[in-house]
């Protein structure tokens, strides 16, 4: 097995573990943190497979913008857990281990040379060509995704606003 094969399986395992931890956590902020780790792992996997643009987009769009949106939603909804944590180290240990594994794999990806002697021709497409292809052949999918994101943002704003108005209405009735 080559070094790239080992890195691939290591990345796949850490992505699965961090996604599994994101699904099973009760604290929403921890869930978002594990999802960010999963997205970084996916970006490293894209980079390993020879798609640095997709890796950069994964980090910028998913790990950056969408996770910040999720954090804002979590903060706006003010969801509080009743769970009291007795062992703070136990909470941070899985995230630290997964983070160290990702750091180790990233260093391996950057510092090693390919072991194959066959040069691969890169499939290069300009952003203009990608955009034209996307909007000519998959325009309905793009519109559906944008509409779903709009519905999610409006729903989060409605839920955040309605809980604040109920608190204000209840204090006015008591007075």
The whole domain housing 61 covers 3-123
Q: Is there a single domain that holds both residue 57 and residue 113?
A: yes
The total number of structural domains that make up the chain: 2
Write out the DSSP string of 107-139. HHHHHPPP--SSPPPP----HHHHHHHHHHHSH
Q: Is there a single domain that holds both residue 62 and residue 87?
A: yes
SS3 155: helix
Structure tokens given for 97:
């281990």
Q: Is there a single domain that holds both residue 155 and residue 85?
A: no
Per-residue pLDDT 10s for the chain (175 aa) are 778 888 888 888 889 999 988 888 877 778 888 888 898 999 988 888 877 888 888 888 887 887 777 777 777 776 555 555 555 667 778 878 888 888 888 777 767 766 656 665 666 777 788 788 888 888 888 888 888 888 888 887 887 776 555 555 555 656 5
CA 160 to centroid of chain Cα atoms: 23
């Amino acid at each position: 097995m080559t070094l790239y094969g080992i890195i691939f399986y290591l990345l796949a395992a850490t992505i699965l573990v961090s996604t599994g931890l994101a699904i099973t956590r009760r604290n929403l902020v921890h869930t978002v943190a594990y999802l960010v780790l999963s997205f970084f792992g996916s970006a490293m996997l894209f980079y390993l497979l020879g798609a640095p643009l997709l890796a950069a987009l994964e980090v910028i769009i998913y790990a950056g913008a969408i996770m910040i949106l999720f954090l804002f939603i979590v903060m706006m909804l003010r969801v509080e857990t009743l769970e009291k944590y007795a062992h703070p180290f136990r909470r941070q240990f899985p995230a630290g281990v997964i983070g160290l594994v990702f750091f180790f794999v990233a260093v391996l990806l950057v510092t090693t040379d390919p072991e194959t002697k066959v040069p691969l021709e890169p499939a290069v497409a300009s952003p203009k060509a990608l955009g034209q292809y996307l909007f000519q052949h998959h325009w309905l999918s793009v519109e559906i995704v944008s509409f779903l994101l709009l519905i999610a943002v409006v729903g989060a704003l409605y839920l955040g606003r309605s809980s604040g108005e109920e608190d204000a209405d209840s204090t006015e009735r008591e007075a």
